[in-house]
Amino acid sequence: IVDPLRQLDQDLARFQSGQGTGAELLQDTKQYEQMRSQVAELRRSIANLHGAEILRSDASYQSWTRQLDAFIQQVDAMNAGPLLTTPAVYDNFNGTAQELEGTIKEFRDDPRKFLRIKIF
């Protein structure tokens, strides 16, 4: 019984001296207040979630589930389509990106070449 009590006493002494885990909360109230506000915000979020219609209504839940399923099917169709599976499309996009990069670099080097104002 004595050893755990000694250990607890040593831990408390370290904590109060600022060396223990979480000791900075005793010395700096800013961190404590920040943590407290985050916990309060979490509680408000949970309370708002309890009042959410999707948790109370089967129709809302079913509608949300159908929309999510449709979105998943669209992503799957796009992943299987030629846009992401054909190397030619990638090469075309890559070439276009390189041309755009060159044009932007040229514009930065000599903007007067691109910006011409003609009144008549």
Is 18 within 8 Å of 27 (Cβ atoms)? Answer: yes
Select the more confidently predicted residue: 48 or 98: 98
Q: How far is CA 54 from the centre of its chain?
A: 23
Mean pLDDT of 47-65: 80
**Is 90 exceeded by the pLDDT of residue 7?**
no
Q: Residue 90, SS3?
A: helix
pLDDT value at residue 23 = 55
Residue 84: CB partners within 8 Å, gap ≥ 6? 78
Mean pLDDT of 28-37: 77
**Is 80 exceeded by the pLDDT of residue 85?**
no
Does the pTM exceed 0.85?
no
Is 29 within 8 Å of 20 (Cβ atoms)? Answer: no
**Is 90 exceeded by the pLDDT of residue 96?**
yes
Is 38 within 8 Å of 30 (Cβ atoms)? Answer: no
Count CA within 13 A, CB hemisphere, residue 9: 6
